[in-house]
């Protein structure tokens, strides 16, 4: 069973707050200890309890002091590189949520424009008579986007067909050359590893190639 998500807010009940502090402090201490053991790093933990006269240090105050001195000897830029406080954390979180909201709103507007376009093109509703200025702009933007997609698809398909015709023309030219060098004889030709039925030069016809050139000119 999944644990209930904890609301990150100040706990007003004193007894609950003290119990949570004790439990979370123990968990944090366990994580730091595991980090030093598993990754062989030097670490310390200092906790200022609300009802404690002195801060609690782990492993001890004497062992934590060299770690703190080493940290303070680093340049300020290195010290603050990955440091974040509560305000900074909340700002980062708010920024990520705002970006996510912008993306969702953009997707929603695109879906609304697409639906409106389908209704208009399908004859549903009142057509463009009842369409407002904002909706008309979204329709124009959607039509432009779809048109670009169609044009790109047409160019890709035309290029693919021209390439196929060119390859067929080159293969036919090679076949014609072989047949010209062996007039009246049956020659075994291979196309892409598959054997073609023996044909003679007199029986070959190039009308299909001329039709292909007329349909898809190479120049």
149-202 confidence digits (pLDDT tens):
888 889 889 898 889 888 888 888 888 887 777 766 555 555 444 444 444 444
Chain segment 21-67, per-residue pLDDT in tens: 989 999 999 999 999 999 999 999 999 887 788 888 999 989 999 99
Length of the chain, in residues: 219
Taking alpha carbons only, the member of 46, 67, 42, 71 closest to residue 58 is 46
The pTM is what?
0.40
Q: What is the CATH number of the domain that holds 21?
A: 3.40.1810.10
Range of the domain at 112: 87-131
Per-residue pLDDT tens digits for 65-105: 999 999 889 888 887 777 777 788 888 889 999 999 999 98
Instruction: For 99-155, write each residue's pLDDT tens digit.
Output: 999 999 888 877 877 777 777 776 655 556 666 777 777 777 778 887 888 888 898
What would the mean pLDDT of 5-20 be, rounded to a whole number?
A: 85
Give the pLDDT mean for 207-217.
47
On whether residue 102 sits in a domain, the answer given is yes
**Which pLDDT value is given to residue 214?**
52
pLDDT given for residue 218 in this prediction: 45
**Is residue 125 domain-shared with residue 182, that is, in the same domain?**
no
Q: Is residue 9 part of a domain?
A: no
The position carrying tokens 């670009």 is 148
Residue closest to 186 by CA, chosen among 197, 171, 172, 170: 197
Note the pLDDT of residue 187.
53
Per-residue HEC secondary structure of the chain comes to CCCCCCCCCCCCCHHHHHHHHHHHHHHHHHHHHHHHHHHCCCCCEEECCCCCCCCEEECCHHHHHHHHHHHHCCCHHHHHCCCCCHHHHHHHHHHHHHHHHHHHHHHHHHHHHHHHHHHHHCCCCCCCCCCCHHHHHHHHHHHHHHHHHHHHHHHHHHHHHHHHHHHHHHHHHHHHHHHHHCCCCCEEEEECCEEEEEECCCCCCCHHHHHHHHHCCCC
Phi first, then psi, for residue 66 (nearest 5°) are -60, -35
Regarding whether 120 and 159 lie in a shared domain, the answer is: no
Q: Which residues have CB under 8 Å from 136's CB, separation 6+?
A: 128
Beta-carbon count within 10 A of 138 CB: 19
What's the burial of 168, exposed, middle or buried (CB within 10 Å: 0-12/13-18/19+)? middle
Residues 54 and 20 in one domain: yes
Q: In the chain, how many domains are there?
A: 3
> Based on the domain organization, do 43 and 71 belong to the same domain?
yes
Residue 94 falls inside a structural domain: yes
Q: What distance in Å separates the CA atoms of residue 109 and residue 131, rounded to the nearest whole number? A: 15
User: So what's the pLDDT on residue 36?
Assistant: 92
Same domain for 157 and 199: yes
Q: Tell whether 150 is covered by a domain.
A: yes
Which pLDDT value is given to residue 29? 92
Question: Do 209 and 172 touch, CB atoms closer than 8 A?
Answer: yes
């Amino acid at each position: 069973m999944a644990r209930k998500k904890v609301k990150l807010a100040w706990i007003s009940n004193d007894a609950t707050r003290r119990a949570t502090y004790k439990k979370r402090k123990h968990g944090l201490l366990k994580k730091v200890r595991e980090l030093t053991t598993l990754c062989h790093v030097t670490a310390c933990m200092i906790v200022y309890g609300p009802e404690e006269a002195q801060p609690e240090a782990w492993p001890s105050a004497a062992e934590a002091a060299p770690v703190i001195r080493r940290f303070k000897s680093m340049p300020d830029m290195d010290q603050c590189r990955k440091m974040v406080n509560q305000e900074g954390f909340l700002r980062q979180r708010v920024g990520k949520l705002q970006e996510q909201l912008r993306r969702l709103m953009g997707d929603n507007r695109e879906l609304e424009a697409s639906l409106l376009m389908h209704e208009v093109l399908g004859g549903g509703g009142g057509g463009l008579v009842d369409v407002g200025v904002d909706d008309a702009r979204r329709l124009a933007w959607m039509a432009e986007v779809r048109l670009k997609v169609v044009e790109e698809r047409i160019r890709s398909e035309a290029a693919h067909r021209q390439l196929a015709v060119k390859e067929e023309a080159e293969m036919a030219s090679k076949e014609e050359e072989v047949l010209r060098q062996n007039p009246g004889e049956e020659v075994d030709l291979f196309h892409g590893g598959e054997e073609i039925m023996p044909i003679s030069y007199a029986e070959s016809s190039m009308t299909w190639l001329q039709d292909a050139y007329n349909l898809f000119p190479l120049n």
